[in-house]
């Protein structure tokens, strides 16, 4: 019998990052907090993609 862990149980481990549409650099939510606005800290572009980085799941093989 196999019991699967519920998806989304470890939501806290999932990190969200932002990618600038113009220069393609990686931005973190912390960077926007410093600026008090959503824009790229490198080139000033206001077009930012939100990217979800799913946490890596480790599966035990018996």
* One of 13, 16, 23, 35 touching Zn ion (CB under 5 A): 23
Using the 8-state DSSP alphabet, how is residue 15 labeled?
A: E
Q: Considering the rule CB under 5 A, would residue 27 count as an interface residue with Zn ion?
A: no
Cβ of 2: how many Cβ atoms within 10 Å? Answer: 3
- Copy the structure tokens of residue 29: 């939510």
Q: Write down the least CB distance from residue 18 to Zn ion, Å.
A: 10
What does the alpha-carbon distance between residue 37 and residue 3 come to, in Å, rounded to a whole number?
44
* One of 13, 17, 22, 53 touching Zn ion (CB under 5 A): 22
* One of 43, 46, 47, 55 touching Zn ion (CB under 5 A): 43
């Amino acid at each position: 019998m196999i019991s699967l862990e519920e998806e989304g149980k470890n939501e806290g481990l999932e990190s969200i990052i932002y990618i600038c549409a113009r220069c393609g650099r990686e931005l973190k939510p912390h960077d926007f907090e410093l600026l008090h606005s959503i824009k790229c800290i490198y080139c000033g572009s206001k077009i930012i993609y939100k990217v979800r980085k799913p946490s890596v799941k480790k599966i035990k093989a018996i």
